[in-house]
Amino acid sequence: MDHSALLTDAFDRIQETVHSTLADLPADALTFRVDAKANTIAWLIWHLTRVQDDHVAGVAGTAQVWTSGGWVERLDLPFPVADIGYGHSADEVAKVRTGADLLREYHDAVHDRTVDYVQSIGPDDLDRIVDENWDPPVTLGVRLISVVSDDLQHAGQAAYVRGIYERR
């Protein structure tokens, strides 16, 4: 397995978890909270997709699907266009109200762009410095693995919230 196949598999697993979490999900489950300050399924899926979109577009030098694909208008959330959800308060989390189909479609569009990108890079590209604001500077490989890690954690959290919702 080469680097492209490995990264594609990782991003495919994120997509599979997003799909299984959103499949046949009642509308009220999207905004269900374990407690008053907990993240919702809708926010978790939106946020993990925004992180992937923002970070992969950044290293690829392309526009984000969020803007280029019209998703900012379709989801119509009350946040600045560049917002990815980092540091959102409980009140901001509650403002992510959209349907499962739109979340899945946005995630799929980002996933497709991500897979196209990771399949276009060579093994030497993974050592390219993409962010000098850290010590040590961040390479492409480290940035992509950071996205995979963050997305898998949030996808797992969304699946967990669904499980709690279904068992209450």
- What's the pLDDT tens digit per position in 69-98? 999 999 999 999 999 999 999 999 999 999
Pairing of strands 129-131, 138-139: antiparallel
The per-residue pLDDT for 24 is 98
Distance set, CA 111 to CA 40, 108, 155, 156, 161 (Å): 21, 5, 14, 17, 22
Q: How confident is the model at residue 138 (pLDDT cuts 50, 70, 90)?
A: very high
Residue pLDDT, tens place only, 106-126: 999 999 999 999 999 999 999
The per-residue pLDDT for 20 is 99
Domains delineated in the chain: 3-166 (1.20.120.450)
The per-residue pLDDT for 156 is 99
Sort 28 into a burial class: Cβ within 10 Å, 0-12 / 13-18 / 19+.
exposed
Rounded to whole angstroms, the Cα distance separating 84 from 80 reads 9
Count of beta carbons in the 10 Å neighbourhood of residue 125? 15
The per-residue pLDDT for 84 is 98
For 78, the token pair is 């009350």
Residue 72 exposure: Cα atoms within 13 Å on the Cβ side: 15
The per-residue pLDDT for 112 is 99
Distance set, CA 29 to CA 65, 98, 106 (Å): 26, 11, 19
The per-residue pLDDT for 40 is 99
Residue 139's beta-bridge partner residues?
A: 129
For 132, the token pair is 């000098």
Residue pLDDT, tens place only, 61-72: 999 999 999 999
The per-residue pLDDT for 152 is 99
Query: Is there a contact between 100 and 22 (Cβ–Cβ < 8 Å)?
Result: yes
Mean residue pLDDT of the chain comes to 98
The per-residue pLDDT for 104 is 99
pTM above 0.75, yes or no: yes
Percentage of the chain lying above the pLDDT 70 cut:
100
Query: Is there a contact between 139 and 132 (Cβ–Cβ < 8 Å)?
Result: no
- From the list 6, 16, 44, 36, the residue with the least C-alpha distance to 161 is 44
